[in-house]
Amino acid sequence: MRQRRLLGLEVNGTAAQIAVDPSQTLLQVLRDELSLTGTKEGCSNGNCGACTVLVDGVSVLSCLTLGMEMEGKSVLTVEGLAQGTRLHPVQQAYIEEAGLQCGYCTPGLIMSTVYLLKRIPNPTEQEIRLNLAGNLCRCTGYDKIIRSVQSAAKMLQEVQS
């Protein structure tokens, strides 16, 4: 057995200190050690984006990131978006615009969308396509996801204005 090491990080606003195997990826730490299974594994080598989370506000592929790199950092996963039962506008928009079918790629896409709209509050269709191109979806053909992102952008702007 590999020696476990202590890792101190913040996950969805809560400080955590856990013992992890240094070979574990952030994805494995989230899913296997913290039982946060909302973040999905689709390929384990950074090709599909299903494992996307935000680290200190920046989108990261958790399957390509070692857990030990998270020391002192703040991780946001799909479980941390809603406030109680109030969904984040991006989550709401994916429901209303039918931007999901099987729902497996959805957590990663939602995290990528949150990151996109933080940087570009009112993206064009091309900007959406470019910024979400790292997330694969096999069910939708992307059409309704793009509409979801456009709708989320509107909702977020209304919240802010």
Partner 1 sequence: MTQTRQGKEFKIIGQGIPRVDSVERVNGKAVFSADLTLQGTLHGKILRSPYPHARIKRIDAAKALQLPGVKAVITGADLPPLVQDTANVGGETAVQAGYMRQFLLAEDRALFHGHPVAAVAATTPQIAEDALSLIEVEYEPLPVVDDILEAMKPDSPVIHPELRTKSLAGASKDPTNVALHVVAERGDLAKGFEDADLVIEREYFVDMVHQGYIEPQACTVVVDSDGHMTMYNSTQAAFRQKIQIATLLDMPQSKVKVVPLEIGGGFGGKSPTVPELPTALLALKTGQPVKTVLSRTEVFLATGPAPDSYSYVKIGAKRNGQITALQAKYVLNCGCVPGAGLTINNILVGYSLYKAGAFRFDGYEVVTNKSRTLPYRAPGMPNGAFAIESAMDELAQALGIDPLDLRILNASEDGDIMTDGKKLPSTGLKATLKQVKAHPAWASPLLPGRGRGVAVGMRLEGAGVSSAHITANTDGTFNLVIGSVDLTGTRTTMVQIAAETLGIDVSDISVSVGDTDSVGFTDGSWGSRITYVTGAAVLKAAQETLRQLKERAALRLRVEPSAIEYRDRVFYVADNPEQRISLADLCRANVGQGAGAIIGYGVAGGMQLVSSLAVHVGEVEVDRETGKVYVVKYTAFQNPGLAINPVEVQGQMQGGAAQGVGWALWEGYYWNKGQLVNANFLDYRMPTFLDLPMIDAVFVGEPAKEGPLGVRGVGEISIVPPLPAIGNAISAATGVRMTQAPMTSQRVLSALQQHNGGSSS
The site for partner 1 (CB under 8 A) is made up of 1-2, 21, 23, 31-32, 36-45, 47-48, 50, 77-79, 81-82, 87, 91-92, 94-96, 98, 100-107, 110, 125, 128-130, 132-146
C-beta closer to partner 1: residue 47 or 122 = 47
Q: Shortest CA distance to 58 belongs to which of 70, 44, 40, 41?
A: 70
User: CB of 45: closest distance to partner 1 in angstroms?
Assistant: 6
C-beta closer to partner 1: residue 3 or 161 = 3
Q: Shortest CA distance to 90 belongs to which of 108, 75, 66, 104?
A: 108
Structure tokens at 38: 């909302």
Structure tokens at 77: 């996963």
User: CB of 73: closest distance to partner 1 in angstroms?
Assistant: 20
Interatomic CA distance for residues 54 and 111, integer angstroms: 7
User: CB of 105: closest distance to partner 1 in angstroms?
Assistant: 5
Q: Shortest CA distance to 23 belongs to which of 9, 5, 40, 39?
A: 5
C-beta closer to partner 1: residue 30 or 161 = 30
Cβ distance 6 to 72 under 8 Å?
A: no
C-beta closer to partner 1: residue 50 or 70 = 50
Cβ distance 98 to 125 under 8 Å?
A: no
User: CB of 43: closest distance to partner 1 in angstroms?
Assistant: 4
User: CB of 2: closest distance to partner 1 in angstroms?
Assistant: 8
C-beta closer to partner 1: residue 65 or 135 = 135
Interatomic CA distance for residues 140 and 26, integer angstroms: 28
